[in-house]
């Protein structure tokens, strides 16, 4: 029985995972690599920060953390050191431009998903309290639909899928959407079309994808907006300077602002289904590991 007369100690309550004032979690994924996830994640985080909000950008790419490459900042430690107890989450945060915080999660996230209970508990305890410092968490995932991407995607409140007109990108984006909606049909998904020739091409690509989702999955996805293929984006990535800072009046920057507005307007996951970033990973870890056990026992 909780004693309601005393102020709750968030660490003592960690097993309850109280989720009041928790941040809204946005995960960016795509299936196919190289379609513009990191560019979108970084710029989205910067635009959310402009709203005077506290923003955490999580680099969850398991192979090669790349948020730091795009921002020109280098991590000195990752979640691996949090798992061993050497560092706290706050100690591994890197300060990005305009005051966004970057969590270099990289390949250690996969270890975290499969870690022993006592390690999971240690990380869980360090996440509780820590993530309440933020209004928004933006998670940049790697390519594919591995365990790490699935766990982060299913745990998020809103999922952004990036697709380009390339047929391989369309197939892979549909594959991701199908896999995730089959697991969680209520997951809110927004499609962002990237590297299109113009807005019409972007909108038509969305319509085509949404039709497939309606027809074959009996579900729907929303349209976030279209980013044209633009030399300034390539240049900004190469200069390790995000386009919203480097080219504030460019077409891609205006598209990114529209996408940010659409994302904020989009209905979030049902409050009863919303959990903390860590619990999202933990819950889905159990689902994923359970599935792997089922497969290996067949």
Ligand X SMILES: Nc1ncnc2c1ncn2[C@@H]1O[C@H](COP(=O)(O)OP(=O)(O)OP(=O)(O)O)[C@@H](O)[C@H]1O
Residues of the shown chain interacting with ligand X in the complex, contacts defined by CB under 6 A = 30, 33-39, 61, 66, 142-143, 194-195, 227, 229-230, 233-234, 237, 252
- Given the complex with ligand X, which of 120 and 256 has the nearer CB atom? 256
Gap between the Cα atoms of 156 and 23, Å rounded? 10
Helix ranges, 157-276 (H) = 167-183, 199-217, 231-238, 243-246, 251-265
How far apart, in Å, do the first and last CA atoms of the chain sit?
Answer: 43
Site string for Mg ion, 43-82 (x = CB under 5 A): -----------------------x----------------
DSSP code, position 298: -
- Given the complex with ligand X, which of 130 and 174 has the nearer CB atom? 174
DSSP code, position 212: H
Which of ligand X, Mg ion, none interacts with 120 (beta carbon under 5 to 8 A by kind)? Answer: none
- Given the complex with ligand X, which of 120 and 161 has the nearer CB atom? 161
Which of Mg ion, ligand X, none interacts with 34 (beta carbon under 5 to 8 A by kind)? Answer: ligand X
30 belongs to the binding site for Mg ion (CB under 5 A): no
Gap between the Cα atoms of 148 and 62, Å rounded? 7
- Given the complex with Mg ion, which of 28 and 213 has the nearer CB atom? 28
- Counting residues that bind Mg ion (by CB under 5 A) gives 3
DSSP letter for each residue of 8-66:
P-TTTTTTT---TTPPEEEEEE-BSSSSSHHHHHHHHHHHHHTTT--EEEEEE-SSS--
Gap between the Cα atoms of 160 and 137, Å rounded? 13
Which of ligand X, Mg ion, none interacts with 195 (beta carbon under 5 to 8 A by kind)? Answer: ligand X
Residues that bind Mg ion (CB under 5 A): 37-38, 66
């Amino acid at each position: 029985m909780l004693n309601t007369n005393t102020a709750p100690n968030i660490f003592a309550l960690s097993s309850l995972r109280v989720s009041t004032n928790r941040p809204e979690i946005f995960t960016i994924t795509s299936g196919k690599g190289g379609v513009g996830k990191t560019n979108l994640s970084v710029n989205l985080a910067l635009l959310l920060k402009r709203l005077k909000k506290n923003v955490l950008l999580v680099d969850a790419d398991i192979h090669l953390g790349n948020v730091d490459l795009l921002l020109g900042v280098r991590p000195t430690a990752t979640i691996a050191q949090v798992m061993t107890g050497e560092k706290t989450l706050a100690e591994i945060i890197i300060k990005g431009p305009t005051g966004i915080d970057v969590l270099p999660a990289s390949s250690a996230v996969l270890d975290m998903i499969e870690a022993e209970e006592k390690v999971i508990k240690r990380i869980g305890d360090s996440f509780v309290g820590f993530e309440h410092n933020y209004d928004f968490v933006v998670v940049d995932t790697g390519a594919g639909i591995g365990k790490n991407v699935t766990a982060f995607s299913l745990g998020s409140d809103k999922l952004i899928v990036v697709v380009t007109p390339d047929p391989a990108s369309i197939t892979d984006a549909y594959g991701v959407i199908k896999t995730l909606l089959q697991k969680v049909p209520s997951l809110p998904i927004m499609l962002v079309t990237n590297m299109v020739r113009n807005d019409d091409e972007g909108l038509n690509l969305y319509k085509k994808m949404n039709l497939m989702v309606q027809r074959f999955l009996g579900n729907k996805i929303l349209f976030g907006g279209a980013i044209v293929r633009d030399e300034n984006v390539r240049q900004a990535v190469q200069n390790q300077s995000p386009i919203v800072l480097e080219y504030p009046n460019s077409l891609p920057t205006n598209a990114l602002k529209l996408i940010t507005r659409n994302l904020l307007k989009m209905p979030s996951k049902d409050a009863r289904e919303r959990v903390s970033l860590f619990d999202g990973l933990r819950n889905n870890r159990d689902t994923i590991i359970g599935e792997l056990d089922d497969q290996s026992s067949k």
